[in-house]
């Protein structure tokens, strides 16, 4: 169903390049099924086991990623790998969301991609893109205060890029968590605790050093939630969901454009 929606969008807007990407595949079999369904890009997240929760060892990650690359490249499909686990350098907690991600406490070595290991990984697997761990995590609760270099390791991106300058780097968990949307949500009955995301200027710095894909979702969720809460509060007699959803789509579009 989703595939046909995307294909319809491609037909409607042929001038806009679209990639249908499968995120956080937990096994080569999952990636194979996505390729069969027409995905043009897949991610083999071998940093975690097939349960999507248990951190694996380096050899396992290399092996399953190699298998996925061999299969995908034969079909003209690109592959993103991952080295390191998403998690907070501030709290030491892993970054799980929507059933994918390590759980509990991790040590810093698990939450920071080693530059030399990254170079070896790319050489052995031939991935097209590499998701790296630099202290970001899924969801809204990333940092308790505006992040500094000790909890958001942008310098690690620079070190990795020096060793693999021709590999596209990927930043996961990189929503900026717009403070204005947090304020709107809470103003209209929400209860989102104080939290901060990845500053846009740090994302720009990453792009200067090899980052070519930035995963953002929370910002859209916050904008959608804030827009709907505000509209419902300001129009208590309104009951047409089309008006609510129209407002949320506009809010999310504005976030993307900004």
In a domain, 254, yes or no: no
Tell me phi and psi for residue 44, to 5 degrees.
Answer: -100, 105
Looking at the structure of the chain, the number of domains it has is: 1
In a domain, 240, yes or no: no
pTM listed for this prediction: 0.91
CA angle 238, 181, 195 (to 5 degrees): 135
The encoded tokens of residue 17 equal 């390049």
Per-residue pLDDT band at 172 (split at 50, 70, 90): very high
Domain of residue 186: give its range: 17-216
Three-class secondary structure of residue 82 per DSSP: strand
User: Residue 45 has what pLDDT?
Assistant: 96
Q: What would the mean pLDDT of 133-162 be, rounded to a whole number?
A: 93
In a domain, 241, yes or no: no
* Alpha carbon distance 164, 159 (integer Å): 9
Phi-psi region of 198 (alpha: psi -120 to 50; beta: other; left: phi over 0): beta
In a domain, 230, yes or no: no
The encoded tokens of residue 95 equal 């970054």
* Alpha carbon distance 201, 255 (integer Å): 16
Which helix H or strand E contains 5, and what residues bound it? helix 2-12
In a domain, 6, yes or no: no
Q: Which residues are catalytic?
A: 23
Which carries the bigger pLDDT value, residue 233 or residue 87?
233
User: Residue 98 has what pLDDT?
Assistant: 64
Read off the pLDDT of residues 229-238 as tens digits, 9 standing for 90 and up: 999 999 999 9
Query: Residue 31's domain is classified under what CATH number?
Result: 3.20.20.70
């Amino acid at each position: 169903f989703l595939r046909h929606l995307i294909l319809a969008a491609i037909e409607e807007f042929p001038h806009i390049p679209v990639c249908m990407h499968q995120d956080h595949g937990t096994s080569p079999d999952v990636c194979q099924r996505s390729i069969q369904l027409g995905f043009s890009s897949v991610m083999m997240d071998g940093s975690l086991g097939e349960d999507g929760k248990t951190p694996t060892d380096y050899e396992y990650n290399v092996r399953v990623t190699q298998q996925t690359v061999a299969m995908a490249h034969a079909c003209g499909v690109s592959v993103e790998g991952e080295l390191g686990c998403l998690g907070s350098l501030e709290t030491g907690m892993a970054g799980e969301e929507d059933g994918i991600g390590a759980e509990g406490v991790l040590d810093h070595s698990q939450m920071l991609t080693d530059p030399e290991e990254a170079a070896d990984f790319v050489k052995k697997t031939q991935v097209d893109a590499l998701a790296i761990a630099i202290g970001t995590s899924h969801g809204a609760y990333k940092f308790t205060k505006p992040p500094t270099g000790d909890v958001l390791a942008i310098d690690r991106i620079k070190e990795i890029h020096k060793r693999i300058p021709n590999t596209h780097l990927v930043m996961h968990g990189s929503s900026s968590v717009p403070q204005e949307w947090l304020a709107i949500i809470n103003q209209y009955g929400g209860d989102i605790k104080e939290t901060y995301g990845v500053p846009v200027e740090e994302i720009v710095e990453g792009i200067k050093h090899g980052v070519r894909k930035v995963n953002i979702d929370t910002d859209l969720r916050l904008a959608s939630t804030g827009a709907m809460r505000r509209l419902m509060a300001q129009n208590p007699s309104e009951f047409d969901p089309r008006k609510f959803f129209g407002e949320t789509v506009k809010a999310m579009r504005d976030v993307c454009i900004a």
